[in-house]
Amino acid sequence: MPVNSPVLWQTIAQQISQTTGQPFHGQERRSVSGGCINQGYCLMDGEQKYFVKLNQAQQWPMFQAEALGLEAMAATHTIRVPRPICHGSSAGHSYLVLEWLEFGQGNHDSWYRMGQNLAALHQAGGSAQFGWQTDNTIGATPQPNPWTDSWADFFAEHRLGYQLALARRRGGNFPDPTAVVPKVKDLLGDRQPTPALVHGDLWSGNGAILTTGEPVILDPATYYGDGEVDIAMTELFGGFPAGFYQGYHAIHPPEPGYQQRKTLYNLYHILNHFNLFGGGYQQQAQQMLKQCLRI
């Protein structure tokens, strides 16, 4: 059914009312950016506003997992994330309702605070293993998160190995994962980070500053991993302002070997972009494989 289905919007408004305990009729809505994967709407009833993400009905588990990730990060009381209100499916669509946030222009101090808050998130603990309570998605790609004792095993098998297998099935000219996974394990074999709750998809479009000056991170692909994966991705597509890195490193200084690991960690995202969008990402991924794994 089309997105303008009255049944869909009535269902969403009713669930907002039930969840918040405040009457909400959703009398107005306007289209806003929902990213590359979802449709986004601002749903309004007078002064009340909510951000609604929509996708096909079968994508409801994706929204459920996103809500769990946001709740887990919020529970650390370290960094602001959008508060999930409710989620579900109706009229052929799945939906996720989040609090409405007003974005502003950040300055050096607000980005410095962003870095410090992210470092605090990474140091909050919460797990003795790598993985997550459920599988989720990175963009629209499934992201397996089985609990694993070794970071090298987790990243090699459930990040790069998984994406390479997908890429080969989609016609990509990439080496067999059975040749890559052992090399990744060797490269990360001495890396024994404390499991950190990571955003998982922290490119520049998923970090912002509110009109109040408070930093916020959005659209997570949450799991427990090496906190460096978040820092690496902030450098992949344009980078964050310098104040962010100054704030983060004031709490968590760079560790030896990061520059090499950065390429390896970002290879995961470039492979995912090939699996989502194809095109020139194949050549970029091949160059990264040669750079960090000599493959």
Active-site positions read 201
The conformational region for residue 271 under phi > 0 = left, psi -120 to 50 = alpha, else beta, is: alpha
Give CB contacts under 8 A, 24+ apart, made by 273-279. 274/167, 274/170, 274/172, 275/141, 275/163, 275/166, 275/167, 275/170, 276/36, 276/139, 276/140, 276/141, 278/170
DSSP conformation letters of 113-169: HHHHHHHHHHTS---SSBB-SS-EEETTEEE----BS-HHHHHIIIIIIHHHHHHHH
Distances, alpha carbon 284 to alpha carbons 68, 205, 271, in Å: 33, 21, 9
Would you say the C-alpha torsion 141, 204, 181, 170 has a positive or negative sign? positive
Could you tell me the CA-to-CA distances from 259 to 28, 103, 228, 291 in Å, in that order? 48, 32, 10, 11
Rg over alpha carbons for the chain, rounded to the nearest Å, is 20
For residue 231, the SS3 value is helix
